[in-house]
Amino acid sequence: MKMAYIEAQLISKEKNLTWLLYAFLLTVFAMATPFELRFSVHGWMSLSEAAAKIESGSLSRQVSLITLGVFAIVSLFWDSRNRIRINGVLGYIVIFFLFLAVLSVIYSINRMFTIRRVVVLFMLSLGALAVAKRLTLRQILLLAFCAGIFSLVSGFLCEVVLGTFKPFEGVYRFTGVLGPNFQASNCSMLLIAAVALAHKAKGTRIRSFYLAIACLSFVFLILTKSRGGMVGATVGLVTYGGLMSPRKTAVCLFTILFFACAVYLVASDELGAFGKRLLTLGRTDIGDIGQNLTTLTGRTHLWTTTVFSATQEHLLFGYGYDSFWSASRVAAQKEGYELGSTHNGYLHILLGLGLTGAITYVLIRILGIIAYIRLFRKARNTEHASAVALLISFSLIIVFLDLPLKPYLATFIDMTILAKIAFIARSAHNRGF
C-alpha cells in the first residue's frame, strides 16, 4: 500500500512538472515571437519601423531565447530518462544543416547579423532537443494542443477587447496577436492535434471536449482566410485519416469527389464565380481574383523578380544563414508586398544557405516523415500518425510562409517532433516513445 502511494505521488509530481514546462514554453514564445496585442488595430509595421527593429533586435526575444537555452542545457545534463543518440542518416543530416549555418558566418554578407541568427537557431535547437528528450510523443502532441489554444484564445480576446472582431465583414481576417497567416499555422496545428487527441481519448466527455476544440479551430482557420493554413490542415487531416482508417478515408474522399463532379455538371456556369471566391476563401481585399490565384497573392512575382535573381549570385551557399533580409535591404524595398519576407520557407533557406542548405532542409523533412511512417507501420500508434500529419501540414504551410527555424510556437513544435525521431533513443516503439 505504501509503495502504491509513493508511486501515485511520483506520477502526480511528474504531471505537475509537465504542465509547468508547458507554461514555461508558452511564456517564452509569447515573448520571443513576440505576441503583438494590438496587431488587429495597426496591422503590419512600416518599412522604416521594420528596418529599425531588424537592426536593433528585440530585447524580449533575446531574454526569452537565452532563458530557453539555459533551460535546455540544464535539462539535457540533469534529465537522464532518455538517451541521446544519432538515429541513422536523419540525425547526421540535421547536424550537417547546423554545420552549414555556422559555416555561413564566414562568408556572410553581414557577419554580425548572421551570428545573431545562428545563435537563435541553436537556442531553438537545444530547446527542441531538451523537450524531445523529456516529453513523450503524446505529451508533445498535447503541447501542440495547448500552444494552439493559447494562440487562438489570446488572439480572440484581444480582438474582442479592441473591437476588431468582425467575422461577417468581407475584408475581415482573424489576425489575433500574430497576423492571419501565422494564426492560420497555429490553428492548423491545433486542429490536427485536437482530432488526434480525440481519437486517442478514452472517456466520452474528454473526447467531446477535444472534438469541440477541433471544430472551433476549424472555424477560426476559415476566418484567417489563409490558403496555406487551409491546405496544410486539409492534407494533414487526410494523411492522419488515411493512416488510421484508410478505407473510411478513401470512401469519404471518393464520395466528396463524386458529388462535387455531379454538382459541377448540373450547374457549371453558376459555380464558376463561386469556385473562384471559394479558392480565395471569400477575401474581398484583393482585386482580380483570377490573377490573384495564378500569382498566389503576388508571391510568384516576388519570387521571380527578387528571390531567383538574387539566388543566382550566391547559388551554392547563399548569403549567410537567415541574413538576406537585412535592415538595409528591407529599407531599400518599396512599400508593398515585399516587406522583408520571402513568403516561402524553402526559398528563404535557399537565400540564406544556398542550394546546399535548401536541399539539406528538404531531406530532413522527407526523412523525418518517412521515419515516422515506418514507426507507425510497426506499432500502429496514434502518436506516430499525428506526427506524420503535423510534419506534412507544416511542410505545406511553409510553401506560403517563411516560418521554418524562426522563434514561433508552431516552428518549435515542428523542430521538437523532428528532434524526437532524429536524436532520442527509441527503446519502445509501442509506447510512442
Number of H helices, E strands in the chain: 19, 0
pLDDT tens digit sequence for 227-273: 888 999 999 999 999 998 877 677 676 666 665 555 545 554 444 44
278-336: pLDDT as tens digits:
445 555 555 544 445 455 555 666 677 677 777 778 888 988 998 887 666 665 665 45
Number of domains in the chain: 1
The pLDDT-based confidence of 74 (bands split at 50, 70, 90) is: very high
Backbone angles phi, psi at 232, to 5 degrees: -60, -45
Q: Alpha-carbon distance 220 to 61, whole Å? A: 27
The CA distance from 289 to 287, in Å, is 6
Domain residue limits at 242: 2-431
Measured CA distances, 156 to 40, 215, 224 (Å): 10, 15, 12
User: What mean pLDDT comes out for the span 101-128?
Assistant: 92
Task: Give the pLDDT band (50/70/90) at residue 343.
Answer: confident
pLDDT of residue 132: 94
Q: Reduce the DSSP state of residue 37 to 3 states and report it.
A: coil
Determine the pLDDT at residue 344: 86
Report the chain's mean pLDDT, rounded to a whole number. Answer: 81
Judge contact between 301 and 329, C-beta under 8 A: no
HSE toward the beta carbon, residue 397, CA cutoff 13 A: 29
pLDDT tens digits, residue range 285-300?
555 444 454 555 556 6
Pairwise pLDDT comparison (29 vs 10), residue with the higher score: 29
Q: Residue 72: how many CB atoms within 10 A of its CB? A: 21
Grid cell in block for residue 256: 466528396
What does the block give as the cell for 193? 492535434
- Give the pLDDT confidence score for residue 327 in this predicted structure: 61
Task: Tell me if residue 84 falls in helix, strand or coil.
Answer: strand
Least confident residue range of 15-19, 319-323, 340-344: 340-344
The better pLDDT of the pair 414, 55 is held by: 414
- Which residue is listed with cell 497555429? 186
What lies within 8 Å, CB to CB, of 36 at 6+ separation is 177, 178
* Per-residue pLDDT at 167: 86
Q: How far is CA 195 from the centre of its chain?
A: 17
Q: Using alpha carbons only, what angle is made at residue 302 by residues 393 and 48, rounded to the nearest 5 degrees?
A: 100
pLDDT tens-digit map of 345-385: 898 899 899 999 999 999 999 999 999 999 999 888 889 99
Q: For residue 51, what pLDDT is reported?
A: 56
Burial of 60 (0-12, 13-18, 19+ CB in 10 A): middle
Nearest one of 11, 27, 18, 33 to 408, comparing CA atoms: 33
Distance, C-alpha 397 to centroid of its chain: 7
First to last CA, the chain: 29
Strand, coil or helix: 121:
helix
List of residues 6+ apart from 316 with CB closer than 8 A? 354, 355, 356
Report which of 397, 351, 376, 19 is spatially closest to residue 180, judged by C-alpha positions.
397
pLDDT at res. 419: 96
Range of weakest confidence among 31-40, 118-127, 150-159:
31-40
